[in-house]
Structure 1
Amino acid sequence: MSALRSYKDTRPVIGERVYIDQSSVLVGDIRIGDDSSIWPLVAARGDVNHIHIGNRTNVQDGSVLHVTHKNQQNPNGYPLIIGDDVTVGHKVMLHGCIIKDRVLVGMGAIVLDGAVIEEDVMIGAGSLVPPGKTLESGYLYVGSPVKQARPLNDKERAFLQKSADNYVQNKEDYLHHVDVISK
């Protein structure tokens, strides 16, 4: 069964050299940039608003991506916008938020409606970013709710790009060396 599904009059639009594991489900108004990867058991629903995933971004196993519908209090709703070179760790939940470039969202983190994560940010595993919160560029954030822990050092800033680059190589390996086995 295909991982891609239409919803009403929308369907996912996929860039060049993208890996999407067949166990994932992507529904509706979703755009995925070049060299990105969607790993096993990801659920992404662009049903009541749109999802944009940038170039060279990886969404790891078991993550959930969703949006918020348009309404009287919020006429645009909350789409989900993910920038370039972003690493979304295992079992992350992203709901109607904006994640800018070179961000690492640690395993099991939750980022809620209207939150904005600026460039070059690291969010610790299991952290909760509450609705409407903005995380300033250049820092590590941890906790539930998140608190600014400290500035990222040069090695950590470089790791943000390295993580994205590693997953570009991983997806190339999967595109060329993984076959579905029936028995």
Structure 2
Amino acid sequence: MHRPGVTIVPIHGRAPQIHDSAFIAPGCVIIGDVTIGADSSVWYNCVLRADTSRIVIGARTNIQDGSVLHCDPARPGDPDGAPLIVGDDVLVGHMAMLHGCRIADRGFVGLGAIAMNKAVIGSDAMLAAGAMLTEGKVIADRELWGGRPARKMRDLDDMAIAGMRMGVAHYAENAKAHAAAVGGL
């Protein structure tokens, strides 16, 4: 499939695998061992660089404008390294930085937030805008963490969870309009 204005770079014998229904906006750079699932969207000027390990993006997930995603290789004492694994129905806000972490299905990463190696964001959990989740920290399901370094602020109620799900639906629909506008689908 033709993806106008998108730079796709195979490296070390690995090429990005992007589902045909995924929207990748112009200006994005997708490098190496990256997998992007069905109906997901990667918005304008994002960089997904999997040159040392792998990046997996699930279905219906959105990676918003200007975000940077990377991973770390295996090292002595750490044979698995730090791949970046993002589940289904995840919202990743503008200019987020995700590095070798894991985000469970329906997780949320706020604007400008940072999640570092081996950090985990649980299902229906949120890392607040501008927060920094340091290496190895775990946000349990339905928790909101914020600050630098991030700490638990409170549990999320059903209304907050519903709002996050509405955000996922909005981005999935809006991606179709953008894809049509740029000729990418």
For normalisation by structure 1, the TM-score amounts to: 0.95
**Offset of 1:5 from its aligned partner?**
1.1
**Which runs of at least 4 in structure 1 moved beyond 6 Å after TM superposition?**
none
CA RMSD of aligned residues (A): 1.2
For structure 2, which runs of at least 5 residues remain unmatched after alignment? none
For structure 1, which runs of at least 5 residues remain unmatched after alignment? none
Contact kept in structure 1, 2:125 and 2:140, CA below 8 Å: yes
**Offset of 1:91 from its aligned partner?**
0.5
Equivalent position amino acid for 2:72 in 1: T
Q: Take 2:18 and 2:183, find their aligned partners in 1: how far apart are those partners?
A: 21
**Percent of residue pairs identical:** 39
Q: Take 2:6 and 2:65, find their aligned partners in 1: how far apart are those partners?
A: 17
**Offset of 1:175 from its aligned partner?**
1.5
Q: Take 1:133 and 1:72, find their aligned partners in 2: how far apart are those partners?
A: 21
**Offset of 1:102 from its aligned partner?**
0.7
Q: Which residue of 2 aligns with 1:167?
A: 171
| Mapping for residues 45-64 of structure 1, pairs under 5 Å | 45-64=49-68
Contact kept in structure 2, 1:3 and 1:20, CA below 8 Å: no
| Mapping for residues 56-135 of structure 1, pairs under 5 Å | 56-135=60-139
The answer to whether 1:157 aligns with 2:145 is: no
Equivalent position amino acid for 2:109 in 1: V
Contact kept in structure 1, 2:91 and 2:167, CA below 8 Å: yes
SS of the aligned residue for 2:69 comes to strand
Contact kept in structure 2, 1:23 and 1:42, CA below 8 Å: yes
Q: How many residues align?
A: 180
**Offset of 1:8 from its aligned partner?**
1.9
Change (3 A) 1:24 1:50: same
Contact kept in structure 2, 1:3 and 1:21, CA below 8 Å: no
**Offset of 1:179 from its aligned partner?**
5.1
SS of the aligned residue for 1:170 comes to helix
Equivalent position amino acid for 1:32 in 2: I
Contact kept in structure 2, 1:18 and 1:36, CA below 8 Å: yes
The answer to whether 1:177 aligns with 2:181 is: yes
Contact kept in structure 2, 1:62 and 1:91, CA below 8 Å: yes
SS of the aligned residue for 1:8 comes to coil
**Offset of 1:66 from its aligned partner?**
0.2
Q: Take 1:72 and 1:92, find their aligned partners in 2: how far apart are those partners?
A: 29
Q: Take 1:74 and 1:36, find their aligned partners in 2: how far apart are those partners?
A: 30
**Offset of 1:17 from its aligned partner?**
1.1
